[in-house]
């Protein structure tokens, strides 16, 4: 990871940290955490939070923990934990031995709750869920005290212990913090801190039938880990007073400080686990790692690189107000990285057969072609040439306009890295009139050299040798949604882009790609960036995903 990736300019969060450090807070330490709930795969929004938390830790020589915030048994699983670990690591971050689970703190959190009861700061409330809602009041009206608010401490302790023992049904009682039912901030109107939920937990099994609420568990988990700056998204702004309320009552010494930033919203994308789960469960995509998904695993399979994602996260910065980032900025970062680092290769997506009439039938020769035009250190490869070739169907026109610098009746064109060839005749399908084959001649003298007679041949096209190339399937992706802000639509599913996937079979890749390893990325000359599909690509049938086109085709549409 380069310096520029972690510390471009200061943002308001780093300003706060600088100030805390300057007044000697937290003994000069900076400790952050990335706290996902293992109820789905992480997406590009989470990547922003990962980059921010780990980036800050690195910049201030502090630490960043990976904590699974697994306090709600419904929907959490080991599959998700494993995916999160893999994805954060793949993004390029390391938490050393600081992998934690909020569920490991259940006993500790229980005793914190007992401590609150003993201080008279919490009570067991036996109103139903509906009644609790009713008593809570509204934005304009204060709430009403629960009739159980003044339950004696001994009775609260006894009831809470019995809740834990499993004596009561789900919803029969809850433990609530005793704060202020008239607070202008609804979050502070005696929030629930424990509820009964007879659900097995993927880690603690049937040990618990009561589970702590997020607002209670999160801040105390932060405190238990010695987190100094608890960075979260804006929707928790109203919860900050509650965060502080718990921590001030229960934690001595250094206390974590919550700082909110704007979550990432990306155009033509949904970034909510609930919606992503819906796409997966309704089979509207082919799983969490579908290359059209904004999940880290989907982006990896598509061919995005960790560096491109990190650069994007630096480029968007951290703001205090919600906004919608143009997805083309992410694509731009991917393109920039691959332009630098992806070797070049040739692949014909929609082949047209070309016979070089004057090239000896049994001859083959290898052209040595550079892997990167600006980077000799990336080496070169051998590209075999022979009598029968494939070129791109749309690199030939029977009656081309003047400015068409490709092959046409009477025209010449250079085959990238090889000879100049000249059109002789075409063969057409009798029924459809479609051109099925071209006959050309090659100019032997133009092997890596301009024509001796000084004639100009402007066009350069890509090609493969029919006898040597590898059959391939190429998957072209477009945006998954046709609406700029699908999350804001009433039914986001109705805005899926029907043309988000086009599968091209019968493509031909140059011979060197037969050894391409899963997830290797290439620039296919003139076509874009492509990645070997890690699931479906086989030695005898290569499968490539288009990572991103060479240029932003949507920019034209928008203008």
The residues annotated with a catalytic role in the active site are 37, 263, 273
Query: Tokens 């795969």 belong to which residue?
Result: 41
Least Å from the CB of residue 400 to ligand ATP = 48
Residue whose CB is less far from ligand ATP, 323 or 364: 323
Contact yes or no for 262/321 (Cβ under 8 A)? yes
Is residue 439 helix, strand or coil? Answer: strand
How far does Cα 13 stand from its chain's mean position? 23
Least Å from the CB of residue 318 to ligand ATP = 9
Residue whose CB is less far from ligand ATP, 218 or 255: 218
Residue whose CB is less far from ligand ATP, 72 or 478: 72
The tokens describing 132, both together, are 């609790």
Least Å from the CB of residue 448 to ligand ATP = 51
Residue whose CB is less far from ligand ATP, 72 or 525: 72
Least Å from the CB of residue 316 to ligand ATP = 10
Find, among 218, 484, 216, 128, the residue nearest to 327 by Cα. 484
The tokens describing 205, both together, are 């099994």
Residue whose CB is less far from ligand ATP, 164 or 273: 273
Least Å from the CB of residue 243 to ligand ATP = 13
As a whole number of angstroms, the distance between CA 146 and CA 376 comes to 75
Q: Which residue is nearest to ligand ATP (CB)?
A: 45
Sign of the Cα pseudo-torsion (45, 34, 209, 193, in order): negative
- Provide the binding-site residues for ligand ATP, judged by CB under 6 A: 35-37, 45-46, 48-49, 232-233, 263-264, 271-274
Least Å from the CB of residue 113 to ligand ATP = 22
The H-or-E segment that residue 351 falls in is strand 351-356
As a whole number of angstroms, the distance between CA 19 and CA 30 comes to 12
Three state DSSP letters for 35-91: CCCCCCCCEHHHHHHHHHHHHHHHHCCCEEEEEECCCCCCCCCHHHHHHHHHHHHHC
Residue whose CB is less far from ligand ATP, 42 or 531: 42
Query: Tokens 């009598």 belong to which residue?
Result: 387
- How many CB atoms neighbour CB 74 within 10 A? 9
Least Å from the CB of residue 240 to ligand ATP = 13
Burial grade of 75 (CB within 10 A; 0-12, 13-18, 19 or more): middle
Residue whose CB is less far from ligand ATP, 264 or 338: 264
DSSP line for 238-286: GGHHHHHHHHHHH--SS--EEEEEPPEEETT----HHHHHHHHHTTSSS
């Amino acid at each position: 990871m380069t310096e520029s990736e972690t510390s471009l300019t200061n943002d308001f969060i780093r300003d706060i940290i600088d100030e805390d450090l300057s007044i000697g807070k937290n003994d000069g330490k900076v400790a952050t955490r990335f706290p996902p709930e293992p109820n789905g795969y992480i997406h590009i929004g989470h990547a922003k939070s990962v980059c921010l938390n780990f980036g800050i830790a690195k910049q201030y020589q502090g630490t960043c923990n990976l904590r699974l915030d697994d306090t709600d048994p419904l929907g959490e699983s080991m599959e998700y934990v494993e995916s999160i670990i893999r994805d954060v690591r793949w993004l390029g971050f390391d938490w050393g031995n600081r992998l934690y689970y909020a569920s490991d703190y259940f006993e500790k959190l229980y005793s914190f709750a007992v401590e609150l009861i003993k201080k008279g700061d919490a009570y067991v409330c036996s109103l139903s869920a509906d009644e609790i809602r009713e008593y809570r009041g509204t934005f304009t009206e204060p709430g009403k005290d629960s009739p159980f608010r003044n339950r004696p401490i001994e009775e609260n302790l006894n009831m809470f212990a019995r809740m834990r023992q499993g004596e009561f049904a789900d919803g029969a009682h809850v433990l609530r913090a005793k704060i202020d039912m008239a607070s202008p901030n609804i979050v502070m109107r005696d929030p629930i801190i424990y509820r009964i939920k007879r659900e097995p937990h993927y880690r603690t099994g049937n040990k618990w039938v009561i589970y702590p609420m997020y607002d209670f568990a999160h801040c105390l988990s932060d405190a238990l880990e010695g987190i100094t700056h608890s960075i979260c998204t804006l929707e928790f702004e109203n919860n900050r007073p509650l965060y502080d309320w718990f921590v001030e009552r229960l934690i001595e010494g250094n206390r974590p400080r919550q700082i909110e930033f704007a979550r990432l919203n990306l155009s033509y994308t949904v970034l909510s686990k609930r919606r992503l789960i819906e796409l997966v469960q309704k089979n509207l995509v082919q799983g969490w790692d579908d290359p059209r998904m904004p999940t880290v695993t989907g982006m990896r399979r598509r061919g995005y690189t960790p560096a491109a994602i990190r650069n994007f996260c630096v480029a968007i910065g951290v703001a205090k107000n919600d906004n919608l980032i143009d997805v083309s900025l992410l694509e731009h970062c991917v393109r920039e990285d691959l332009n630098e680092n992806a070797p070049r290769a040739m692949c014909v997506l929609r082949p047209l057969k070309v016979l070089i009439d004057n090239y000896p039938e049994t001859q083959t020769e290898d052209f040595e072609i550079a892997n990167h035009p600006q980077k000799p250190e990336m080496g070169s490869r051998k590209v075999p040439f022979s009598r029968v070739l494939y070129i791109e169907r749309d690199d030939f026109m029977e009656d081309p306009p003047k400015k068409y610098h490709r092959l046409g009746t009477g025209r010449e064109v250079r085959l990238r890295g090889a000879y100049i060839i000249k059109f002789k005749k075409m063969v057409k399908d009798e029924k459809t009139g479609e051109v099925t084959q071209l006959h050309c001649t090659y100019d032997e003298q133009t092997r890596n050299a301009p024509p001796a007679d000084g004639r100009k041949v402007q066009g350069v096209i890509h090609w493969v040798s029919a006898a040597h190339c590898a059959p391939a399937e190429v998957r072209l992706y477009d945006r998954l949604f046709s609406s700029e802000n699908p999350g804001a639509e009433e039914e986001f599913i109705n805005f899926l882009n029907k043309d988000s996937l086009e599968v091209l079979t019968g493509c031909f890749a140059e011979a060197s790609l037969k050894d391409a390893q899963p997830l290797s990325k290439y620039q296919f000359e003139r076509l874009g960036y492509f990645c070997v599909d890690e699931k479906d690509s086989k030695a005898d049938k290569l499968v490539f995903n288009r990572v991103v086109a060479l240029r932003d085709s949507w920019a034209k549409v928008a203008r």
